[in-house]
Structure 1
Amino acid sequence: MLSPWLLASPFKSKSRLEAENAALRHQLIVLRRKLRGRVRLTNSDRWFFVPLYRWFPSTLQVLTIIQPETLVRWHRAGFRCYWRWKSRSRGGRPQIESDLRALIRRMSIENPLWGAPRIHGKLLKLGFEVAQSSVSKYMVKRRGPPSQGWRTRLRNHAPDIAAMDLFIAPTVGIDLLYAFVIVRLDRRDLVWINVTTNPTAEWIAR
């Protein structure tokens, strides 16, 4: 009885068959260089199988010298190494000392009306070379009164809000008309509409 994999093989895409053939050929290369009955895989072998598995997961079906779980583990380890390298520190502004951070916090607590520019100026007078953005970063963040959300603001002020738009409308004669529309948001009432073939700043202002 033929296996489902053999029955489905004639219907595979050309690139998928080439990938599986490449995996088989590379396994033969590894088997030819084995010593004393033990298969030795190098880093180049791992770097060959991992991208091949990433592009064509079906190569797991033709692996014989390594377990599919091993290949998946290599792929995950490579993924972690890549993103560890991607998120590595690339220098930048050095971190300020803990004493200076504590001083910034103390000044912001004892002087609640002082903002970052004023604290930054005081620190410069004291001889501390620090950026204003760093001062703002280490200041104590105070919570203000809760503000109304966008939905509440829109509901409260909808009668006084209007939306406007300037858009292009092509005509049957392949001409372009420029339309200027103003709509009141409360009841979607059309407040103003005008059309021109030559929009100018004066026309829009009028």
Structure 2
Amino acid sequence: MGCASDHRGLSLDEAPKYLIRDRDRTYGSLVTRRLRAIGIRDRPIAPASPRQNGFAERLIGSIRRECLDHIIVLGETHLRRILRSYARYYNDFRTHRSLDKDAPVARPVQRTGSIKSFHILGGLHHHYVRV
């Protein structure tokens, strides 16, 4: 049985090597000790530099602009369901200019068949396929 992998070929069954994070007090010594225990190196950004982690800031901005600014969240369970659905859309269907207008999870080009639209997040986004 093979293990799943992301678009860079990394195994999704393995822990990441690093955690880049801000210096929020939420990340106390208990969190950093547990991270080290499972083999993850803690990498806090520089003090007073919230924009230092551009990758996380860009993703958070995308989640806000493309998802949460348009949906009323009714609780933690609802938020988790919304974020799971958005993550699936973001990785499987949404085109990215840096990937030559492909999704992080590559998909085959469909050349024949009629086009069908599938609603994502209640119609906030759509996925078009040929059937």
- Scaled to the shorter chain, the TM-score interval is under 0.3
Q: Which has the higher contact order (CA 8 A, sep 6+)?
A: 2
TM-score, structure 1 normalization:
0.16
